[in-house]
Chains A and B, each alone.
Chain A
Amino acid sequence: MNLDRKLLIIGSLWPSFWMACGLSGIVFSAIDPSLITSQIGLTELSHLGAYTIGFFFFWAVCAWSGFFSIIFSRKAINK
């Protein structure tokens, strides 16, 4: 795998993992995620399942933003 791609993957997945841990702690202490999952029809989902989905949701959102930050900053540097 070339350097660019390796840095892109590590750079977007790794910091966002820590952000997701922090966000889950803060958000889920205020809101019970199973209230949200039951609102959107996932009534069968266990509590642990709701927390897990919430965590991965945060991770995905942060990784997405990190991914674009890297792409855009690279474009800016290359210009």
Chain B
Amino acid sequence: MSNNQSDCSVESSLFEKRKKLYPREVHGLFANLRILGVSTLLGIYYLLPWINLNGRQIILFDLPERKFYILNWIFWPQDFIYLALLLICAAFALFLFTALAGRLWCGYACPQTVWTEVFLWIERKVEGSRSQQMKLDKQENNPVKFRIKAKKHAIWAVFSLFTGFTFVGFFTPIRDLAPSILFFELGPWETFWFLFYSLATYGNAGWLREQVCMYMCPYARFQSAMLDKDSLVISYDALRGDPRGSRKKSDDLQAKKLGSCVDCTLCVQVCPTGIDIRDGLQYQCIGCAACIDVCNDVMDKMNYPRNLIKYTTENSMDGKETTFLRPRILIYIALLISILSGVVYSVETRDSVTLNILKDRNSLYRESYDGTINNSYTIKILNMDLVDHSYTLSVSGIEGISSSIKSPIHVKAGSIIEMPLLLSVQPESLQSASNSITMNLQALDDADTTTESEGRFIGPLNP
């Protein structure tokens, strides 16, 4: 389908009033895989902030302190490059999986799918099956309908609020957050994000659902560019299925000139985006495989071979061979592995301490009564390690240079300290007006924790 065509159809369907969809419940291999995906991802989302490591939340984006704690690492603002690289890795992983397996992400792992799945499940538990839901919606307003609808929305709302609470728990320690919500002591901005995210969940998963995939998702729009003839897509085997038509189990298909499709429309009823996969590949298809599961059930009941709708590739539909390891896949894998290993290596080997030297701008140098030349500085030490350290500071570059700082300097884990420093030299040691010096910071308890910084020492023009 050309982009133009798809854009036109998006626009015209936006124009129509949205018809509410009632996706039918489905069981089978892919439904089970989706439940597995959904529960794993939701489990990670809801449990992660409650897990502590070394007395600290395992993932915490501490905005006030401007530190991100992820597993055993602390990321500072200057480490933004790592996060950017990790995001690039995530994008490459998405490209790779799309090229290999089509919209695997959409069908099994996208938050929109995951939360919609939970909301649909709640809806089915409260309102009943697809036909019961349709019947209920057709009824005039009455107390029973109101009670059922109110119950559904109340459960959705509680679930959304819990989701919003968990979201804020990634930014504010969740164990402090829980009591402050219970006692209505949440700060105004936390309250804002708590309600904002809850509302977004409620709106996206409860109301917008497939419309997010169809009209709002950028990935859905450009994923077709990542697919090729060897990517897995879900497709109906028209050669085998057509001509469609209802029949009895005992009918002779050849005599009746029928294909395998019994035209039960179950594949349309289970589709969360409401499309008919038998019309060919469509951009609305999120690759959830619900239609495969339900059609396989029908085939089993009819004693026909399975897989009338199946995961396949364009090449295999054309009777050609499918190659999985093609150049673009190998390039994606190579890029992914090299960026990822580069990030891990550089995070693991980055300095766990930094030393910044700022020369006092008010005076170039000062001469004391005994002739010593003094320069003053401010130094900043940032301990990026997870444990406290004591450091010694040594200065070299000029013979006999002495420092005002008495070692050791104690800096707490993940903290920064700032202190004044006065360096003094005898005038005869100075070679020129501006001399380069090196400061070395060395942790007392760990030989590998060390850093160096360059600075300048200014003296009189003719020393």
Contact = CB atoms under 8 A, between A and B. Distances in A.
B218 A30 contact: no
Contacts of B83: 25, 29
A48 B187 contact: yes
Given A32-B66, A46-B64, A10 B77 contact: no
A52 B66 CA distance: 14
Nearest to A45: B189
Interface string B213-230: 001101000000000000
Contact of B189 (A15, A25, A26, A46): A46
A29 B189 contact: no
B14 interface: yes
A72 interface: no
Interface in A10-51: 10, 14-15, 18, 25-26, 28-30, 32, 46-49, 51
A52 B14 contact: no
B218 A3 contact: no
A38 to B, nearest CB: 13
Contacts of A47: 63-64
B14 A6 contact: yes
B77 A30 contact: yes
B419 to A, nearest CB: 21
Nearest to A52: B189
A10 B215 contact: yes
Most buried by B among A14, A48, A49, A52: A48
Contacts of A52: 189, 192-193
B11 interface: yes
Interface in B59-85: 63-64, 66, 77-78, 80, 83-84
B63 A51 contact: yes
A47 B218 CA distance: 31
Contacts of A25: 80, 83-84
Contacts of B187: 46, 48
Contact of A3 (B11, B66, B84, B190): B11
Contacts of B192: 52
A29 B216 contact: no
A48 B218 contact: no
B183 interface: no
A73 to B, nearest CB: 14
Most buried by A among B77, B78, B189: B189
Contacts of A61: none
Interface string B27-52: 00000000000000000000000000
A15 B80 CA distance: 23
B216 A48 contact: no
**Interface residues on chain B, size class:** 20 to 34
A26 B80 contact: yes
B200 to A, nearest CB: 10
A75 B184 CA distance: 51
A7 interface: yes
Contacts of A6: 14
A70 to B, nearest CB: 13
Nearest to A18: B218
Contacts of A28: 77
B188 interface: yes
B69 to A, nearest CB: 15
B171 interface: yes
Contact of B218 (A7, A15, A32, A46): A15
A48 B80 contact: no
Nearest to B64: A47
Interface in A48-64: 48-49, 51-52
A29 B218 contact: no
A28 B77 CA distance: 8
A49 B188 CA distance: 8
B369 interface: no
Contacts of B215: 10
B190 A48 contact: yes
Contacts of B193: 48, 52
A51 to B, nearest CB: 5
B345 interface: no
Given A46-B64, A48-B171, 14 more contacts: A2-B15, A3-B11, A3-B14, A3-B15, A10-B215, A14-B216, A26-B80, A26-B84, A32-B77, A46-B189, A47-B63, A48-B64, A48-B193, A51-B63
Interface of B: 11, 14-15, 63-64, 66, 77-78, 80, 83-84, 171-172, 187-190, 192-193, 215-216, 218
23 contacts: A2-B15, A3-B11, A3-B14, A10-B215, A10-B216, A14-B216, A15-B218, A26-B80, A26-B84, A28-B77, A30-B77, A32-B77, A46-B187, A46-B189, A47-B63, A47-B64, A48-B63, A48-B187, A48-B190, A49-B188, A51-B63, A52-B189, A52-B192
Interface of A: 2-3, 6-7, 10, 14-15, 18, 25-26, 28-30, 32, 46-49, 51-52
